[in-house]
Amino acid sequence: MKLFLKEHALLIVIQIIQFSAVMSIYWLDGYRNVGPALYSIMLGLFFLGGYLCYQYYSRRHYYRRLQEPLLSLDDSVQQLDQAPVSEALEQLLRQQYRYYQQRLATINQQQQEHLTFMNQWVHQMKTPLSVIELTVQDVDEPEFASIREELERMSSGLNTILYMARLRTFEQDFHIRSISLSEVIREVVQEHKRLFIRNQVYPDVKIKDGDLWTESDQKWLFFMVSQLVVNAVKYSAHTNNKVILSSYIVGHQAVIEVQDYGVGIPASDIKRVFEPFFTGENGRHFRESTGMGLYLTHEAAQRLDHQLELESTVNQGTTVRILFPSYQR
């Protein structure tokens, strides 16, 4: 109704001016009989009101469509009135709907092809990396240590790409089962033992409340804890400090905690550490930072119904916790 009145405001004003002008001409011409004049004005207002009522009733869906926002793309193809303007608008919206449907289908197909290519490429790259790693793992020459270090970096980067691709199809990729938190922690430490040694940082595992079991996805939970450990080691490198990995109970929740005593995160960056590609102040000093590790960890935690907490103080270290809403001993 508001839009309808705005559109016809000029017509109403012109009609009022027209009535006033006609009455003024009659008055100046010496016509002093007010009764017929008022009757003619009322008759004119009656026809004007009838016209406006017909216009609004016949186009009410048209004006309602223009005023109400579209909540989804399908809302644009609702049936309108039979008025010519309404039919023209409906035809335009249907053409626009078909156009966007075609564009969405094209973009989805391109994304799926890109995702498939990336998955195949990552798997193809992992095979030669594994072969090279097996070839050099037992060689003690100093130059091979550098090769092993670069291999680990390449493998870590490929895993990040692979999990980034898997995140898009998360619902088809996860498998919930009962998992031992202490077992996950020990597997992560074993997986990254060379990373600890190379960076002169030492793992300290503390299983405080016994072996705790929770419902989660083994592969994604291992990836999440691995990302936290890699970050903790990277930002504590060559300090001879410890990275403490612990599991315990707080209230009604089980917790995996990764604590380091590294460079910490500036307070201004903490709110954004879970955003994709955000590297912050530390990213300017540690060029290996991609800004994807904490983002993927946060996304996976949300989809697995786990909570993620992060506390950090510059030059004192960072503590990240994964909280599980239920557990068993």
Classified as helix, coil or strand, 96 is: helix
Write out the chain's pLDDT in tens, 329 residues: 788 888 888 988 998 898 888 888 888 887 777 788 888 888 888 998 998 898 888 888 877 777 777 777 777 677 667 777 777 878 888 888 889 889 999 998 988 888 888 888 888 888 888 888 888 777 777 777 788 888 888 888 888 888 888 887 787 777 889 999 999 999 999 988 888 988 889 999 999 888 899 999 999 999 999 999 999 998 888 887 899 999 999 988 999 999 999 999 999 889 899 998 888 887 777 766 778 889 999 999 999 999 999 999 998 999 999 999 988 88
Tokens 């939970």 -> residue: 221
Q: Which amino acid is at 253?
A: Q
Largest CA distance in the chain: 121
Tokens of residue 224, six digits: 């999440």
**Are 248 and 258 spatial neighbours (Cβ–Cβ below 8 Å)?**
no
CA dihedral for 322, 326, 328, 329, sign (positive or negative)? positive
> Helix 60-67 to helix 2-28 angle, to the nearest 10 degrees?
120
Residue 306 dihedral angles phi and psi, to the nearest 5°: -105, 160
Its pTM stands at 0.69
Distance CA 203, CA 233 (A): 9
Tokens 């983002």 -> residue: 295
Tokens of residue 178, six digits: 């009962």
